[in-house]
Chains A and B, each alone.
Chain A
Amino acid sequence: MPLVIQFLSQIRQFVRSQNGDELRAWLQVEPGSPQQYHNLAAELRSQFRQQGLETIIDKSLPQEDDVPEGQATVWPGFVAFMKDYFAFWRDVDYEDLLRAHQLLSGLVNSCATAFAHPTYGAMLLKTSMSLSETLARLTMTLNRRPDLTRRLRSVDEDKTIAESSAEIIQKIFTTCLTDRSSGRYSKPEGKKIGVYMFANLVLKLLFACRRTHLAKLIFVTISTISPPLALYPAAQRVTFLYYLGRFNFSNNHYLRAALCLQEAYLQTPRQLVSHRTNILTYLIPCNILLGRFPSQTLLQRPEAQPLTAIFFPLCQAIRSGNFIQFQQHLATHETWLFEKGLLLTLTHRLRPLLWRALSRKAFILTYVPPTDASSRKAATLDLADLLTVAVYLQRRLEGWLPSNPNALGRPQHVNPLLMKALANNAQDQGTSTLAPPPGGPKALRPNEGMIWGNAEVTPEDVEMMVATLVQQGFMHGFVAHGQGRFAIIGAKAKGSPVLAGWPNVWQTIRDRRYEEDFDPDEVVGWVKE
């Protein structure tokens, strides 16, 4: 008996008994499938013409009208799916990845249609998942092969291969979401079981192919009609929160991102170290942006080990407003940060925190408390002093060297003759501790300067920076423009001008209310009870 017929008769039995596990086990599409499948493919190629094959499938899978209680019958969508399944094995050549992707897309699409059948579709839940997983894997492989996909792009400019695969899997996701086997808030049954499974697969695909913005639709639909996340298994919950966190992170919603990632982290057992590392890769920078630095307790955990060398020095630089250390550190880890999608965010979004710390430092270094304890004069920071330190840092970034032989922190082994030559060369001699670099200033990229590349730091820049920090709540007081000073408000009440002038970053961000009914704990896409 031909393999095709044997195969179909088994499939028919599984449909009858609604055996989803066996259907998944039998309906394989992987190149690594057992030899039987390759024999089947050979048989399809050598013995069947399209017409003949379709007749055999129709005959072997008759639709029954009278189905006994508890049993099922094939349905038109299923028969069409089986036709595509055989066509897939007949035509697939895994050496040709693009064609394989095209065939598999067609197959998953027709599986999605069969799956949508209101009565019997649910038995294909696991098959849909395993086929979709294969499609996602193939798509991710192709995504790393621009040499192959470039040809496709020229045909269909608007849609990448990742997008079209995601769209197909999203169709199955929508079928799961709109299934009526169970109510929204009761234990998920039927296709509802698959909601987060398929959502996670689409998200994985979109993130791997860097099409993150397309995830929005999934989160919005989930928010509108999905059952609560808590009703689903732990692995699905954690995976979903991980992607929801990353989505919010890439949209600069750090508070929401931190909520999701933190919950994902806490719900992952300690022994799953690499998963926890992956979550911390985003949770730590997210919290740094919010003014919460990883504690020693956290940094000493095994999952934080690979991350400590990256994030700890960054925190040190932010603490003291040390732009030199900050830029050097980002440059050292540039490749890694870029691959993780963190580079641009950390490069730009941490700058307010560094300016805050730098202005704070300038204040501490220059402030002289009034001798008269009853003085009512407000404590101030001379913006000219902040300009001095900012210009100093800009010059250091451009490669200027400490010219004063007594300058602190200078390595002892530097040739004194060279230093003398440099000092003599200094144009600004007497007005700075720095000497210009012998080979001229280093050309900086826009993000490597204090303001914008090699642009000189002006008094206006400094004043505007302080005004921005006041507006953001990171500095408390006002700019006295006429006097060129930042005046601190509330020093008496706080007990110290530093505490009053530079409020706690995390508290400030946490207490921000841009709208009256804003709930900081609400995250779109995270359905709670």
Chain B
Amino acid sequence: MASDTKPAEEKPAEQKPEQKPTALGEDDEFEDFPVDDWPEDQTEAAQGSGETKHLWEESWDDDDTTDDFSAQLKEELKKVEAAKRR
């Protein structure tokens, strides 16, 4: 039924195109599937009994102190510390 109404133009021209990856579609809607059923062996769930460790990183803490951000914080700490001693 949506077909015979013109889509409401609620969004003015302030849209930033790079924020809307085309693959995501306009709507929040979860589209219907092209088929109702498929065998499990067509899915990842069947392989390795749902083992998904490789998809996620659980240890990600950052020990690097040579990056710009760390260097800036280090400078600031040094300067504030020096000012306290004065």
Contact = CB atoms under 8 A, between A and B. Distances in A.
B76 to A, nearest CB: 5
Nearest to B3: A32
A502 B81 CA distance: 25
Contacts of B27: 208
Nearest to B64: A320
Contacts of B68: 408-409
A419 interface: no
A234 B46 CA distance: 13
A269 B23 CA distance: 17
Most buried by A among B1, B61, B69: B1
Interface string B1-38: 11111011010000110011111110111111111111
Interface residues of A, number: 91
A430 B65 CA distance: 24
A306 B23 contact: yes
Given A266-B50, A388-B77, A97 B5 contact: yes
A498 B29 CA distance: 44
Contact of B30 (A94, A97, A239, A340): A239
Given A235-B33, A272-B33, A362-B73, A357 B80 contact: no
A401 to B, nearest CB: 12
Interface of B: 1-5, 7-8, 10, 15-16, 19-25, 27-38, 40, 42-45, 50, 52, 54-65, 67-77, 79-80, 83, 86
A339 B29 CA distance: 11
26 contacts: A30-B1, A137-B1, A140-B2, A145-B8, A204-B30, A207-B28, A234-B33, A238-B33, A272-B33, A273-B23, A274-B31, A278-B24, A295-B56, A298-B55, A306-B21, A306-B22, A325-B69, A335-B16, A364-B63, A388-B77, A388-B80, A389-B76, A430-B86, A431-B80, A433-B76, A498-B63
A281 B20 CA distance: 13
B51 to A, nearest CB: 10
B29 A432 contact: no
Given A297-B54, A306-B21, A431-B83, A144 B61 contact: no
Contacts of B67: 320
Given A94-B4, A141-B1, 17 more contacts: A31-B3, A31-B4, A137-B1, A145-B5, A234-B33, A262-B52, A273-B23, A277-B24, A293-B57, A295-B55, A320-B70, A361-B65, A392-B72, A404-B75, A407-B75, A408-B75, A433-B79
Nearest to A297: B54
Contacts of B3: 31-32
Contact of A504 (B16, B37, B59): B59
